[in-house]
Structure 1
Amino acid sequence: MTVDWIEVSRVAHQVEADHGRNGYLFAKQLATEAKEDARLDEGDFWEAVAAALRPRGVMPNS
């Protein structure tokens, strides 16, 4: 899948505005839910958003 990085940046900004510093956890939860429902492209998108928001020093699996 090709991720639209501009859209990832826009959504990441909005998620951070809505959920603060823990926005990456919200995005990671959405990625997990999408992948469980076999919406793989959507899951990849939300994983990219989570990666964009994840603070330095936080492991990807947390």
Structure 2
Amino acid sequence: MDLKERIQKLKEIMSYLDDITYYTLKPKTIIISKAYNYLENIKNDFKKELKISKSE
């Protein structure tokens, strides 16, 4: 999965989070932590890609 696909997926997750916020509170914390972890993974992968492209 390339970066553009991951960003698109993240946008979908975020819109899903917005919908959930209106209906419930407790499960939201679980979903937010999953989304946060996903964001962290994207950030780390992006840093790796930057290092690779800089070293080339």
TM category, shorter? 0.3 to 0.5
Which structure has the highest helix share of the two?
2
